[in-house]
Amino acid sequence: MVLRSIRALGHTATTPPLTELDRRLLDAHFPVGTLERALRRVHTAETRIRKLLAEEERRLASLSTEEEFGELVRRTYGRLSSYVREIDPDLDRLHEIIRFRRDRPEVSPEVPSVVVAGFPNVGKSSLVACLSSARPEVAPYAFTTRAIVVGHTDLGFDRLQVVDTPGVLGRRSRSNPAEQEAMAVLGTRPALIVFVLDPSGSSGYSLEDQEALLRRWEREFPGTPILPVETKSDLVATASGRLAVSAVTGAGLEELRHQIHARLPKAPPGLPPVIEG
Question: What's the rounded Cα separation, in Å, for the pair 97 and 13?
Answer: 7
Question: What's the rounded Cα separation, in Å, for the pair 143 and 131?
Answer: 20
In sequence order, what DSSP letters do the residues of 41-87 get, joined into one string? Answer: HHHHHHHHHHHHHHHHHHHHTT--SHHHHHHHHHHHHHHHHHHHHHT
Residue 107 C-beta-side C-alpha neighbours within 13 Å: 30
Question: What's the rounded Cα separation, in Å, for the pair 129 and 136?
Answer: 7
Residue 221 C-beta-side C-alpha neighbours within 13 Å: 24
**Model confidence, pTM:** 0.72
- The pLDDT profile of the chain, 277 residues, written as one tens digit per residue, is 555 555 544 554 444 578 888 888 888 889 989 999 999 999 999 899 989 989 988 888 888 888 988 898 899 989 999 998 999 999 999 999 988 888 887 777 777 888 888 898 898 888 888 887 755 444 444 444 456 777 777 766 567 778 887 778 776 666 777 778 788 888 877 889 999 999 998 989 999 999 999 999 999 888 899 999 999 999 998 999 999 999 889 999 999 989 988 887 665 444 444 444 3
Question: What's the rounded Cα separation, in Å, for the pair 134 and 152?
Answer: 7
Burial class (CB in 10 A: 0-12, 13-18, 19+), 100: middle
- CB 188 within 8 Å of CB 168: no
